[in-house]
Amino acid sequence: MALKPRLEPRQTRVKVIEAALSDQSDTRFWKQTKSTSVHVQQTFSAQLNIFMNRIFAVFASALLIQLVLLSGCSGQPLQIMTVDGFIPAEEMGRTLPHEHILVDFGGGAMAGPHRYDAEDVYRFIFPHLQDVKKAGYATFIECTPAYLGRDAQLFRRLSRATGLNLLTNTGYYGARRDLSVPAHAFEESAQQIAQRWIEEWRNGIDGTTVRPGFIKTAFDRGSVSKIDVKLFEAAAITHLATGLTIATHTVDNLAAVETQLETLKQTGVSPSAWIWVHANRVGSFDGLLPALKAGAWISLDGVRDSTFQIHLDLILEAKRQGYLSQILVSHDAGWYRVGEPKGSPERFRNYLHVTEKLIPTLLEQGLTPEDIHQLETINPQQAFAVRIRKSE
Ligand SMILES: [Zn+2]
């Protein structure tokens, strides 16, 4: 596509650059051409054109990333990286910050698109995402990491078909006895692992132009393991190079929380760049206080009937103690189960409990519409906006 060299309004520039990046996403660029000389010449010139556009897109993209990284400290509007490129954070709208489209717990580090039919997953999940959109949400954050079911191409297709902004991630999943951690992560240093994740941010995931919107890591239950700490260090290094937020599956492992806060301190990353995922499992507000006081994000993301009261109590207490602006609320729901017949529709949990039950109850119990706006719209913008956050 033709790119205008003159400067345009910031947002238009963002869209032009993203469109240029998308143009390079298919394999046509590398395809063999037919062997008649005229055709070869025409194709060569077309390819040269594409090549030049690609070069421009790479430079423009690097420039854009720099602008976004600077935005956190220069009063520029905050930006979010969706599977379809940057959007201004204020366009996120109501957001579900922790959900899943497909998960492959059975694949271990061999999980990948060869283990399922993407068409099946698309058909399975599309109506549920349509329901999310109809319920008034604008953004859906997909938290499944690589080797556990992350499928950038499928996510972008679903995002375009439903009109939902969708975010995916870079990082590895160290929970469930590290079964989904790839072999190279055990051998490499935190710096080398971070380099792989930074590479996804700069050049896209799995050969696509889809870039991660945050970093996902995880800690096992019980004593803190070497590999989980190494992955977290890699996340901190990646944050300092990319500005991506770190979301870590931690559940109620308070020793892991302590280790993570300490690692952030040592690496110079502000706790405001870190989300304690599944913090609702702690059950008591006091258990969350050290992380809240440090400025971290608390993800109360398991909303369902059986845990409803816990979520309600924690949010009401956050309001009472003045921490509502650090709380994220979601279902940790879904999903197509890879390896089970038809993805096990009978085990699927939909994404509507928060809007249908939790929000009305919070309003009944004294939260204001402004509080709800803070929880569903403002907090996700602040948590996921791409910017480097260094500790004071
Ligand atoms: Zn999850």
- Give tens-digit pLDDT for 134-151: 999 999 999 999 999 999
* Structure confidence at residue 45 as a pLDDT band (50, 70, 90): low
Cα 144 to ligand 1 centre (Å): 7
Cα 250 to middle of ligand 1, angstroms: 11
| 100 Cα to the center of ligand 1, angstroms | 6
Tally of structural domains, the chain? 2
- For 43, the domain range is 10-76
Co-location of 58 and 180 in the same domain: no
Average pLDDT over the chain, rounded to an integer: 87
- Ligand 1 centroid to Cα of residue 28, in Å, is 36
Whole-number Å distance, alpha carbon 281 to ligand 1 midpoint, is 13
Question: Do residues 54 and 28 share a domain?
Answer: yes
Cα–Cα distance between 217 and 197 in angstroms, integer? 12
Q: Are 366 and 291 contained in the same domain?
A: yes
pLDDT 10s digits, 175-186: 988 899 999 999
Please check the confidence at residue 44 and state whether its pLDDT lies above 60.
no
> Does 98 lie in the same domain as 68?
no
Q: How far apart are CA 280 and CA 64, in angstroms?
A: 36
- 153 and 239 inside one domain: yes
Give tens-digit pLDDT for 92-135.
Answer: 999 999 999 999 998 888 889 999 999 999 999 999 999 999 99
Report how far ligand 1's centroid is from the alpha carbon of 99 (Å).
Answer: 6
Domain end call among 45, 76, 107: 76
pLDDT digits (tens, 9 = 90+) for 282-292: 989 999 999 99
Distance between Cα 109 and ligand 1 center (Å) = 18
Distance 371 CA to ligand 1 centre (A): 25
pLDDT in tens, 242-266: 999 999 999 999 999 999 999 999 9
Q: Considering only residues 90 and 31, tell me which one the structure prediction assigns the higher pLDDT.
A: 90
pLDDT for residue 15 is more than 80: no
- Model pLDDT, residue 245: 98
Question: Residue 108: its pLDDT value, please?
Answer: 84
All residues with CB under 5 Å from ion ligand 1: 143, 332
What distance in angstroms lies between residue 98's CA and the mean position of ligand 1's atoms? 6
Q: Please indicate, yes or no, whether residues 180 and 67 belong to a single structural domain of this protein.
A: no
Cα dihedral across residues 294, 297, 301, 303: positive or negative: positive
- According to DSSP, residue 146 is labeled T
pLDDT reading at 29 higher than 90 = no
CATH number at residue 181: 3.20.20.140
pLDDT over 90, % of the chain? 77
